């Protein structure tokens, strides 16, 4: 779980599907529903670079 009191830069090196705001952020970034993103993350892992490769982005 993210420490909401830590106001530093967001960690964009991993996709955390357990945090609704992160699921929303990455879903919007990749142009898909959170449910579809969850499927992709389960297949390839939490790396945004890997998710992007699978999606061709």
Residue 2: per-residue pLDDT: 57
Return the beta strands (E) in the chain as ranges: none
Model pTM score? 0.74
How far apart CA 37 and CA 22 sit, in angstroms, is 11
Residue 8: per-residue pLDDT: 47
Give pLDDT tens digits for 5-42. Answer: 655 445 678 999 999 999 999 999 999 999 999 999 99
Q: Yes or no: say if 17 and 51 are a contact pair by the CB < 8 Å rule.
A: no
Tokens of 37: 């993103």
Tokens of 25: 């952020």
Q: How confident is the model at residue 57 (pLDDT cuts 50, 70, 90)?
A: confident
């Amino acid at each position: 779980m993210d420490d909401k009191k830590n106001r530093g830069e967001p960690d964009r090196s991993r996709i955390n599907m357990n945090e609704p705001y992160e699921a929303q952020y990455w879903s919007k970034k990749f142009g898909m529903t959170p449910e579809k993103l969850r499927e992709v993350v389960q297949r390839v892992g939490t790396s945004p670079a890997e998710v992007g490769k699978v999606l061709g982005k």
